[in-house]
Amino acid sequence: DQQVKQNSPSLSVQEGRISILNCDYTNSMFDYFLWYKKYPAEGPTFLISISSIKDKNEDGRFTVFLNKSAKHLSLHIVPSQPGDSAVYFCAASEWGGNQFYFGTGTSLTVIP
């Protein structure tokens, strides 16, 4: 059973606009969350993380929001750039845990 879900397989956004990628989880024990970015023919690369003691974490154009009560997190990219076109995976773990659980990925296309 998929504990981490990304319900949008794909998303298209105009360059300069905001991209919002969503992720839902079912396990209330998860308290550490990460986003990865994956280009074709490459492995995923770490983008940004958040722990459950926070509800927001920013790194440049990337911001992750966590809503623990809704078991939902989102990744905002502002402004979106064509180089952001990639597949984005969210992942979750229990603090102190030894496994990450990944979502199915969202393919983002940023249109110039």
Beta carbon nearer to another protein, 41 or 70: 41
Q: How far is the CB of 3 from another protein (least distance, A)?
A: 10
| Residue 79 vs 100, nearer CB to another protein | 100
Binding-site ranges for another protein (CB under 8 A): 2, 4, 6, 9, 32, 34, 36, 41-46, 49, 89, 91, 93-105
Q: Which residues pair with 96 in a beta bridge?
A: none
Sign of CA dihedral 39, 31, 3, 99: positive
Specify whether the CB–CB gap between 34 and 62 falls below 8 A.
no
Give me the sign of the Cα torsion angle 106, 91, 47, 50: positive
A 10 A CB-CB count for 6 gives 19
Q: For residues 79 and 102, which CB has a smaller minimum distance to another protein in the complex?
A: 102
CB of 112 to another protein, least distance (A): 27
